[in-house]
Amino acid sequence: MNEWIFYAFSAVAVAGALGMVSNVRNTVAAALSLVASMVSLGGIYVLLEAYLIGVLQILVYAGAIMVVFLFVVMLLNQRKDGFSAGRQWVMKTFGAVLGVAGAVGLVGLLPARFPEAAALPEGFGGYRALGVMLFTDYVLAFEVSSLLLLSAMVGAVILARRSAD
Amino acid sequence: MLEIVLKMLFIVLVILGGMLPLITWVERKQSAVMQDRIGANRADLMGVTVLGLLHPVADVLKLFSKEDVVPTGANRTLHLLAPVVAIVPAIVTLAVIPFGGSYTFGGATLNLVVADVDWGIVFVFAVGGIATYGAVMAGWASNNNWSLLGSMRAAAQMVSYEVTMGFSIVGLFMIYETLQLPAMAAWQDDSFRLLGFIEYLLDIPLPAFLGWIRLPLWGVFLQPLGFVLFLVCIMAENKRPPFDAPEGESELVAGYHLEYSGMRFGLFYTAEFLEVPVIGCILTTLFFGGWSIPFLPQETIVGFIGAGFGEGFATGVCLVLHVLSFLMKVALMIWLQMALRWTLPRFRYDQVMDLCWKIILPLSIANVFVTGAIILWIETVMA
């Protein structure tokens, strides 16, 4: 049962990712495909018993970040400009090489057998375990990233004020 | 499995089948009462009008018989998909709402919630975030500038209010020490002495008669500011007046669902109406003790009735009473939302955003700090 749910979510995730890449002309449709992909990723997290991460994936990525993305894309979609042809060629080549390399690496992994899954500790995937870890073992990383976000926020406000003057 | 299906059936019958059609009637009748009119009373079946209660049926018949138009130049797939994306989140949210407590019959335990999950309230927020796409997709796919403006407003408004909505109830999580909605409701099934804190402040025992002044241990009494802020945020998420800037018919014709007709327009309409009882359920569970009956905890009811009729019967009666209590509180919350909706005029769009970022966000963060300080004080001084 779980396996079939996994395949369903994976199919949607892959289809969404492909839709995002292939919708070159239609940026809004590309962004919406990415949303579908992210929601299914959230489902896969839940299957892995990382419940909180799964829900946060939907809440933060699919729900909040992508809405802001769409907002920007819808504003800019009215303009018809893009990258110059030469730059597009460089980006496409680079992306194709990276994509093929990634695919080859993944296919190479296929024959490998996965080790037996380790037993999960008590409360795994819940907000309690995650909160305790964030504020004990990983407190430095947590605080540094929050500082980074704060500086980004202050920077955005300064930039917005400058252009208003 | 059968248990879950039965619970889902209950929700579908009571909320979707019962409350939803009633709400369209309540909206008309309550607005009529508030504006000194008579309200909807003409729809009849062989001359029987039953207070206008047939209007929801007439509405649906009318919507189904209208032509379903997809404008030229519209993105057909997204245009057809958008109303569905708008309505599904509202239905899915009901999965984590407890409409009753936990009851033990002999050896079996019946838990009156479809999905009793650890992260219940986060699920509500996550699903609410998805609801934004309904409005965004609709406006963009319609290929109409008014619609697009409406959906831009919807996107900005809903994302902003989702942030503050989360912040406004952090104080509540700190008090309940859980994110699980059934556990929150069970936590509130109690009462407290309103003046009990005097014992600790003045170090004298409270006179007995003052000890009789008790309040239910509800979130609304522990976090009054949190309740007001959360109510504002969740009503803004709902996009009904006074927060209907995304529709703003005086500026944007009909905003994001301008290009919809027939039952597809009906789905947007239904989604907004369905969110009203869903919001009622969330408010009841978080702030008004969920299914609990004030001053009558579950053990008291079961003990009192069980003394005469046996425990199994008493638990059954308690279950029915709790579900009725829950539905009654939800009805009150719906009344509150309707009253606010028909009292306040629409905010100007910049006022909506100012209210969110400049008033609600600082207040809710202050609320978190004050709540934390008080909890710390209680744990160190009172203990």
d(CA A55, CA A62): 10
In chain B, residues 129-188 whose CB comes closer than 8 Å to chain A: 129-130, 132-133, 136-137, 140, 148, 151-152, 155-156, 158-159, 162-163, 179
Contacts of B137 in chain A (CB under 8 A): 32
Q: Give the pLDDT confidence of B297-342 residue by residue, as tens digits.
A: 877 877 787 777 777 788 888 888 888 899 999 999 999 999 998 8
pLDDT in the model for residue A133: 85
- Say if A51 is an interface residue toward chain B (CB within 8 Å): yes
Same domain, B330 and B257: yes
d(CA B267, CA B20): 12
Mean pLDDT of the region B277-294 = 89
Contacts of A72 in chain B (CB under 8 A): none
Same domain, B82 and B225: yes
Cis peptide before B242 (omega within 30 of 0): yes
Contact B133 A35 (CB under 8 A): yes
Contacts of A51 in chain B (CB under 8 A): 117-119
Residue bearing the bigger pLDDT, A104 or B4: A104
Contact present, B213 and B250 (Cβ < 8 Å) = no
Same domain, B106 and B172: yes
pLDDT in the model for residue A145: 93
Tell me the sheet residues that pair with B214. Answer: B193
Instruction: List the one residue out of B244, B257, B269 whose CA is nearest residue B79.
Output: B257
pLDDT in the model for residue B206: 74
CA distance readout (Å), A111 to A46, B51, B259, B263: 26, 71, 53, 52
pLDDT in the model for residue A141: 92
Residue bearing the bigger pLDDT, B129 or B47: B129
Q: Give the pLDDT confidence of A127-155 residue by residue, as tens digits.
A: 888 888 888 889 999 999 999 999 999 99
Q: Give the pLDDT confidence of B191-222 residue by residue, as tens digits.
A: 877 777 777 777 777 777 777 788 888 888 88
Contact present, B113 and B323 (Cβ < 8 Å) = no
Same domain, B159 and B212: yes
In chain A, residues 9-48 whose CB comes closer than 8 Å to chain B: 26, 28-29, 32, 35, 39, 42
Mean pLDDT of the region B130-154 = 86
pLDDT exceeds 60 at position B272: yes
Alpha carbon of B311: minimum distance to chain A alpha carbons (Å) = 34
pLDDT in the model for residue A15: 92
Q: Which of B76, B121, B136 to mutate to test the interface with A (most CBs of A within 10 A)?
A: B136
| Burial A111-127, CB ≥16 within 10 A → b, else e | eeeeeeeeeeeeeebbb
Query: Which residue in the set A39, A42, A127 is minimally distant from B179, CB to CB?
Result: A127
Identity of the residue numbered B46: M
- Domains of chain B: total: 2
Mean pLDDT of the region B24-36 = 88
Contact A32 B78 (CB under 8 A): yes
Same domain, B210 and B297: yes
Sign of the CA dihedral with B130 first, then B360, B172, and B372 last:
positive
d(CA B171, CA B184): 13
What kind and span of H or E run contains A27? helix A27-47
Contact B136 A67 (CB under 8 A): yes
Same domain, B48 and B142: no
| Burial B186-222, CB ≥16 within 10 A → b, else e | bbbbebeeeeeeeeeeeeeeeeeeeeeeeebbbbbbb
What kind and span of H or E run contains A154? helix A139-164
Region of residue B295 (left: phi > 0; alpha: psi -120 to 50; beta: else) = left
Contact A127 B151 (CB under 8 A): no
pLDDT in the model for residue B371: 92
Same domain, B190 and B55: no
- Say if A1 is an interface residue toward chain B (CB within 8 Å): no
Contact B155 A70 (CB under 8 A): yes
pLDDT in the model for residue B48: 79
- Say if A130 is an interface residue toward chain B (CB within 8 Å): no
Range of the domain at B151: 66-382
| The last residue of a domain, from among B42, B61, B80 | B61
What kind and span of H or E run contains B108? strand B108-111
pLDDT in the model for residue A82: 66
Those residues whose C-beta lies under 8 Å from the C-beta of residue B355, and which sit 6 or more positions away, are B232, B347
Those residues whose C-beta lies under 8 Å from the C-beta of residue B84, and which sit 6 or more positions away, are B134, B267
pLDDT in the model for residue A26: 77
Same domain, B173 and B228: yes
Residue in chain A lying closest to B140 (CA): A74
Region of residue B104 (left: phi > 0; alpha: psi -120 to 50; beta: else) = beta
Instruction: List the one residue out of A2, A114, A1 whose CA is nearest residue A47.
Output: A2
Same domain, B260 and B286: yes
Instruction: At B217, give phi and psi (nearest 5°).
Output: -80, 65
In chain A, residues 143-162 whose CB comes closer than 8 Å to chain B: none
The rounded percent of chain B whose pLDDT value lies above 90 is 11
**DSSP readout, B166-231?**
HHHTHHHHHHH----HHHHHHHTSSEEETTTHHHHHH-SPPPHHHHT-EEE--HHHH-HHHHHHHH
pLDDT-derived band at B364, boundaries 50, 70, 90 = very high
Same domain, B54 and B133: no
- Say if B75 is an interface residue toward chain A (CB within 8 Å): yes
d(CA A44, CA A59): 15
Contact B125 A68 (CB under 8 A): no
Contacts of A31 in chain B (CB under 8 A): none
Contact B129 A75 (CB under 8 A): no
Same domain, B132 and B42: no
pLDDT exceeds 60 at position B280: yes
The rounded percent of chain B whose pLDDT value lies above 70 is 99
The encoded tokens of residue B371 equal: 């709540």
Contact B119 A71 (CB under 8 A): no
Identity of the residue numbered A154: V
Tell me the sheet residues that pair with B48. Answer: B45
The encoded tokens of residue B144 equal: 């109409």
Q: Give the pLDDT confidence of A70-97 residue by residue, as tens digits.
A: 888 877 765 556 677 778 888 889 989 9
Please provide the average confidence, as pLDDT, over all residues in chain B: 85
The Cβ of residue A48 has, within 10 Å, a number of other Cβ atoms equal to 15
Contacts of B78 in chain A (CB under 8 A): 29, 32
Those residues whose C-beta lies under 8 Å from the C-beta of residue B314, and which sit 6 or more positions away, are B301, B302, B303, B304, B305, B306
Same domain, B98 and B6: no
> Count of A–B CB contacts within 8 Å?
73
Query: Which residue in the set A32, A62, A64 is minimally distant from B137, CB to CB?
Result: A32
d(CA B271, CA B134): 10
Contact B129 A64 (CB under 8 A): yes
d(CA B194, CA B221): 10
pLDDT exceeds 90 at position B134: no
pTM for this one?
Answer: 0.87
**DSSP readout, B244-288?**
-TTT-HHHHTTGGGTT--HHHHHHHHHHHHHHHHHHHHHHHHHHS
Contacts of A75 in chain B (CB under 8 A): 152
d(CA A14, CA B30): 49
| The last residue of a domain, from among B41, B61, B81 | B61
Contact present, B167 and B192 (Cβ < 8 Å) = no
Interface ipTM: 0.79
| The last residue of a domain, from among B61, B83, B100 | B61
d(CA B134, CA B239): 12
The encoded tokens of residue A66 equal: 């992508």
